[in-house]
Chains A and B, each alone.
Chain A
Amino acid sequence: MMGFVLRRVLQMIPTILAVVLIIFFIFSVVPGSFLTSLMAEGRNMTNADVLAQMNAQFGLDDPIPVRLWNYVSGLLQFDLGISYRTREPVTSVLGPRLWPSVQLAIAAMTFAAAVGIPLGFMAALRPGSLFDSLTMVTAVSGLSVPEFWLGLLLMYVFALQLGWLPSFGYQENSLRHLVLPAIALGVSPMALLARTTRAGVLDVMNADFVRTARAKGVSEPRLVRAHITRNVLVLVLTTMGLQIGSLMGQAIVIEKLFSWPGIGSLLVDSVSVRDIPVVQGAVLVIVLWFLVINMLVDIAYALIDPRIKVA
């Protein structure tokens, strides 16, 4: 088992390296820098001495291979560079943003699981019924709705009209602030979970071992609990894991809409002022989150499902 875990960890390294290369090259090959964009915005940056000084300070004069080497060797020491905007180390810009993003991803997933799994389950137990059709309509709608529009509607109804919840912002340990963004972000994984659960349950219900169990007189509630649920659980947990992994990337628009101080809103803000080191750092965090969660899902999968060969 340890060997499997180790191999799975090592497998991530080439992908991470490639991602680092891609985000490095996107931002170094293309002309136009933070400094020129500052001038384009009409700020008082036309002084050539100041420009040269800043170029030297951020190492922008060095040839690309040198900059790549500096960047990668910095990464190995958890040094992501210096923010152009705040002149702070990127790690200390990113640090405080991480927990709000993780909170939002977990809350959205909780909502998605609490609604999506029961919906899919009940729909599959009555295939072809009105409830089943309604669930599937909900699912395809949930996958088609722009989440930031849903967020706006939720804001309008629950914050502006009813006044039940705050319309935006973040407060530590405040569930009230978390509710609306989590629902808006959770609708699409909810829809996916409903679909996956339904498909999984339908598959298992037609399996031989369920027919056998039924034939030998297992009661319906026990059949659902012990035979179907257990087998669908692996599929559902995998889907949930993979979804949590991609939620941090999906959350950028929602974070921006609700002024949520996470990685996503930091990314958007840094993109608009071309604070490239922070953009690179934020993308890297989002990708790492995805890869690490995927790895954990794979490992958990091997632990739960004895059919998966670990050797």
Chain B
Amino acid sequence: MRFNFVFGLFLVSVVVLAALLAGLLAPFHPIMDADLMSSELPPGAPHWMGTDAQGRDVLSRILYGARVSLMVGVVSQIINSTIGAALGISAGYFGGVWDDFVNGLTNVMLAIPSLVFALAIMAVLGPGLPSLLIALGLTNWSWTCRIARGSTLSLKSQSFVLAAKAAGFSDWNIMRTQILPNIVGPLLVIGTLGIGSAVLAEAALSFLGIGIRPPTPSWGNMLTDARELLRTAPWAAIFPGLAIFVTVLGFNLLGDGLRDMLDPHMRTRRE
């Protein structure tokens, strides 16, 4: 399905543009333009998505919130992919005790739900952006690791790897120049899907009050405030959630689309 890829790419591009151009697009300042005289206004000019309890423009806060969500999603997934790829490739390549150790560690990581693990790390580090990046970056690499390991195992005995070994390449060089380029495809797929889950996890942690702290706008903490306004200002809950939904949907479709393009046999399979 080419459609998945194109539509996913479209949604992701919209969100990325919104984040980059937030300063230009946002009609109001996300924090400073609080005005109690215009609190809980329904959508309409000049507040196209209404205002919250403090009279702040919901649209402007969503645009700035996109920066937080994307940054957390992308950076934490880069950390995850790096850890997963490094562990997976080295485990598959060297085998033996190291492989057993990595396998055991992966099984343990799979047994602790990543949101629960991230929550525990946040409990230690305290709220804030750096803690979020660490908590989400350390807890969701197990699938990447499994896939990297599996692919490395099947590549290890192929002739071009053996040739590189015979030519005197070091182990590090073989892993970097012979194996990694050949597994970039699957890693890219799982990384794209991972950004979606990281965006969801950031929103969940911020919603619980242990992620991004107010007044910095994040889609998750906007929903915390909106919960209290549900009866009088439902728009304050509808739009930030819609933003999360559209972003995650975009990354999921993009990931599915990439997989279909890279590997037609894997179509519609998803762990």
Which A residues form the contact surface with B (CB < 8 A)?
14-15, 18-19, 22-23, 26-27, 30, 32, 140-141, 143-146, 148-150, 152-153, 155-156, 160, 192, 195, 198-199, 246, 249-250, 252-253, 256-257, 267-268, 271-272, 274, 276, 279, 283, 286-287, 290-291
B227 in contact with A152 (CB, 8 Å): yes
Query: Complex Cα distance A146/B245, Å?
Result: 6
- CB pair A272 B241 closer than 8 Å: no
Contacting residue for A283 out of B116, B237, B241, B269, CB 8 A: B116
Q: In whole angstroms, how far apart are the Cα atoms of A250 and B113 in the complex?
A: 8
Asked if B45 is an interface residue, CB under 8 A from chain A, the answer is no
CB pair B238–A153 under 8 Å, yes or no, is yes
From known contacts A146-B203, A152-B226, A272-B210, infer whether A249 and B116 are also in contact, taking CB-CB under 8 Å.
yes
On whether A156 and B121 interact (CB within 8 A), knowing A140-B252, A145-B245, A250-B113, the answer reads no
Central interface residue in B113, B122, B230, by most chain A CB within 10 Å: B113
Q: Nearest chain-B residue to A202 (Cβ)?
A: B268
In the complex, 29 of the A-B residue pairs with CB atoms within 8 angstroms, ordered by the A residue number, are A14-B104, A18-B104, A18-B108, A19-B111, A26-B121, A26-B124, A27-B120, A141-B249, A144-B245, A144-B248, A146-B200, A146-B241, A148-B203, A149-B241, A152-B241, A153-B237, A153-B238, A160-B230, A160-B231, A195-B270, A249-B113, A249-B115, A267-B119, A271-B123, A279-B120, A283-B116, A286-B113, A287-B112, A290-B113
Given known pairs A18-B104, A149-B241, the reply for A32 and B227 (CB within 8 Å) is: no
User: How far does the alpha carbon of A199 sit from the alpha carbon of B214 in the complex, in Å?
Assistant: 43
- The prevalent SS among residues of B at the interface is helix
Judging by beta carbons under 8 Å apart, are B108 and A19 in contact?
yes
Q: Do B108 and A253 have beta carbons less than 8 Å apart?
A: no
- Among A18, A253, A283, contact of B204 (Cβ-Cβ < 8 Å): A253
- Contact in complex: B209, A272 (CB < 8 Å): yes
Q: Which of B115, B116, B124 has the most CB of A within 10 A?
A: B116
8 smallest A-B Cβ distances: which pairs?
Answer: A249-B113, A149-B241, A144-B249, A271-B123, A144-B248, A18-B108, A30-B124, A253-B204
* B112→A279 contact, CB < 8 A: no
Instruction: Please give the residue numbers on chain B whose beta carbons come within 8 Å of chain A beta carbons, in ascending order.
Output: 104-105, 107-108, 111-113, 115-117, 119-126, 196, 200, 203-204, 207-210, 223, 226-227, 230-231, 234, 237-238, 240-241, 244-245, 248-249, 252-253, 256, 268-270
Contacting pair A283 B112 (CB below 8 A): yes
Partner of A271, one of B200, B210, B227, B270: B210
Residue contact B119 to A32, C-beta cutoff 8 Å: no
Q: How far is the CB of B32 from chain A (nearest CB, A)?
A: 27
Quick one: given A22-B112, A271-B120, are A256 and B208 in contact (CB under 8 Å)? yes
A249 to B139, CA, bound (A): 14
Interchain CB contact under 8 A, B113 and A149: no
Additional 6 contacts, C-beta under 8 A, given A146-B204, A283-B117: A18-B105, A149-B241, A150-B241, A152-B223, A153-B237, A290-B111
Residues of A contacting B121 in the complex (Cβ-Cβ under 8 angstroms) = 26
Contact call B112/A19, Cβ cutoff below 8 A: yes
Across the interface, which residues of B come within 8 angstroms of A192, CB to CB?
Answer: 270
Provide the bound-state CA to CA distance between A253 and B204, in Å.
7
Q: Are B252 and A144 in contact (CB under 8 A)?
A: yes
Bound Cα distance A30, B226 (Å): 34
Expressed in whole angstroms, the minimum distance between the Cβ of A248 and any Cβ of chain B is 8
Least CB distance from A241 to B in Å reads 15
CB distance from A131 to the nearest CB of B (A): 16
Cross-chain contact B111 with A15 (CB below 8 angstroms)? yes
Query: Cβ of B203: which chain A residues have Cβ within 8 Å of it?
Result: 146, 148
- Give complex CA distance A30, B123 in Å: 11
Minimum CB distance partner of B252 in chain A: A144
CA separation between A94 and B83, bound complex, in Å? Answer: 34
Chain B residues with CB under 8 A of A246 = 113
Cα-based distance from A246 to B126 in the complex (angstroms): 25
> Which A residue's beta carbon lies closest to that of B267?
A199
Q: Which of B207, B231, B268 contacts A198 (CB 8 A)?
A: B268
For B113, list chain A residues within 8 Å (CB).
246, 249-250, 286, 290
A258 CB to nearest B CB, Å: 11
Q: Which residues of B contact A140 (CB under 8 A)?
A: 249, 252-253, 256
Instruction: Please state if B208 and A253 are interface contacts (CB–CB under 8 Å).
Output: yes
Contacts of A18 in B (CB 8 A): 104-105, 108
Q: Of A150, A153, A160, A274, which contacts B123 at CB under 8 A?
A: A274
Most chain B Cβ neighbours within 10 Å, of A18, A141, A155, A192: A18
Contact partners of A30 in chain B: CB under 8 A: 124-125
- Assuming the A-B contacts A19-B112, A291-B111, are A283 and B208 also in contact, with contact meaning beta carbons closer than 8 angstroms in the complex? no
CA distance A291 to B223 in the complex (A): 33
B245 touches A156 (CB 8 A): no
Quick one: closest A residue to B237, CB to CB? A152
Partner of B241, one of A141, A153, A155, A290: A153
Distance of A12 Cα from B230 Cα, bound (Å):
44
Evaluate contact between A15 and B108: CB separation under 8 angstroms.
yes
A75 to B258 CA separation, bound complex (whole angstroms): 46
CA–CA, A269 to B107, complex, Å?
28
B245 to chain A minimum Cβ distance, whole angstroms, is 5
Residue contact A144 to B196, C-beta cutoff 8 Å = yes
Residues of B within 8 A of A146 (CB): 200, 203-204, 241, 244-245, 248
